[in-house]
Structure 1
Amino acid sequence: MHGVKRQTQQAIVDRKQREKSKIEGLLKLTDAVLDRKKGKDWSAEAFDATTQLLTVNPEFYTIWNYRRNILLNGLFRESTPEDINELLSGELALTMKFLQSHPKVYWIWNHRQWCLQNVPQGPGSDLDGWRKKYWAFELQAVEKMLNADARNFHAWNYRRYVLANMSVPRPESSELTYTMKKIESNFSNFSAWHQRSKVYTSLWHQGKLDPIKSKEKEFELVRNAMYTDPDDQSIWMYHRWLVGLGHDKELLEREIGVIQELLEEQPDSKWCMESLVHYKRLILTNYPSDRDKDLVADCVRLLDQLKDIDSARRHRYEEIHRAVVNISTHP
Structure 2
Amino acid sequence: MSSDAFNSTTALLRMNPELYTVWNYRRNIMTQTMFPASEPAEVNDALTEDLSLTFTLLKQHPKVYVIWNHRRWCLENVPDGPTEDDPQGWKMANWKKELFVVEKMLDADARNFHAWNYRRYILANMANAPPPSTELAYTTRKIEANFSNFSAWHQRSKVLNTLWEEGKLDEKTSKQSEFELVQNAMYTDPDDQSVWIYHAWLIGTGEDASLLHREIASIQELLDEQPDSKWCMESLVRYKRLLLRKHRPSLSVVEGEQLLQDCSALLAKLAETDRLRRQRYLDILQELQRPSS
After TM superposition, the score normalised by the length of structure 2 is: 0.95
CA deviations on 1:163-189 (whole Å, 9 max, x unpaired) are: 111211211111111111111111000
Q: Is the aligned partner of 1:226 residue 2:186?
A: yes
Matches within 5 A, 1:180-329: 180-288=140-248, 289=251, 290=253, 291-326=255-290, 329=291
Equivalent position amino acid for 2:274 in 1: D
Tell me what 1:166 maps to: 126
- Alpha-carbon distance in 2 for matches of 1:175, 1:121: 27
Tell me what 1:39 maps to: none
- Alpha-carbon distance in 2 for matches of 1:132, 1:272: 48
Q: How many residues are treated as equivalent by the alignment? A: 287
Tell me what 1:330 maps to: 292
* Structure 1 residues 109 and 68: CA distance shift in structure 2, 3 A: same
CA RMSD of aligned residues (A): 1.3
Shift of 1:127: 7.5
- Alpha-carbon distance in 2 for matches of 1:275, 1:60: 43
Tell me what 1:12 maps to: none
Shift of 1:223: 0.7
CA deviations on 1:27-61 (whole Å, 9 max, x unpaired) are: xxxxxxxxxxxxxxx22111111111111111111
Q: Is the aligned partner of 1:76 residue 2:38?
A: no
- Alpha-carbon distance in 2 for matches of 1:166, 1:175: 14
Equivalent position amino acid for 1:64 in 2: W
- Alpha-carbon distance in 1 for matches of 2:217, 2:81: 59
Q: Residue 73 of structure 2 is aligned with which of 106, 110, 114? A: 114
CA deviations on 1:195-242 (whole Å, 9 max, x unpaired) are: 000000111111111111111110110111111111100000000000
Equivalent position amino acid for 1:245 in 2: T
Contact preservation (8 Å) 1:132, 1:168: no
- Alpha-carbon distance in 2 for matches of 1:140, 1:133: 11
* Secondary structure of the corresponding residue to residue 128 of structure 1: coil
Contact preservation (8 Å) 1:172, 1:203: yes
- Alpha-carbon distance in 2 for matches of 1:163, 1:300: 46
Equivalent position amino acid for 2:258 in 1: D
- Alpha-carbon distance in 2 for matches of 1:110, 1:152: 15
After TM superposition, the score normalised by the length of structure 1 is: 0.84
Tell me what 1:3 maps to: none
Tell me what 1:145 maps to: 105
- Alpha-carbon distance in 1 for matches of 2:13, 2:272: 49
Matches within 5 A, 1:18-167: 42-123=1-82, 128-167=88-127
CA deviations on 1:278-299 (whole Å, 9 max, x unpaired) are: 0011111112241222111100
- Alpha-carbon distance in 1 for matches of 2:201, 2:169: 18
Equivalent position amino acid for 1:87 in 2: A
CA deviations on 1:242-279 (whole Å, 9 max, x unpaired) are: 00001011111111010001100111110000000000
CA deviations on 1:292-324 (whole Å, 9 max, x unpaired) are: 221111001001111121111101111111222
Contact preservation (8 Å) 1:59, 1:107: yes
Equivalent position amino acid for 1:330 in 2: S
* Secondary structure of the corresponding residue to residue 157 of structure 1: helix
Higher mean alpha-carbon deviation, 182-191 vs 42-51, is at 42-51
Structure 1 gaps, min length 5: 1-41
Work out the percentage of aligned pairs sharing the same amino acid.
Answer: 59
Equivalent position amino acid for 1:308 in 2: E
Higher mean alpha-carbon deviation, 55-64 vs 263-272, is at 55-64
Higher mean alpha-carbon deviation, 253-262 vs 286-295, is at 286-295
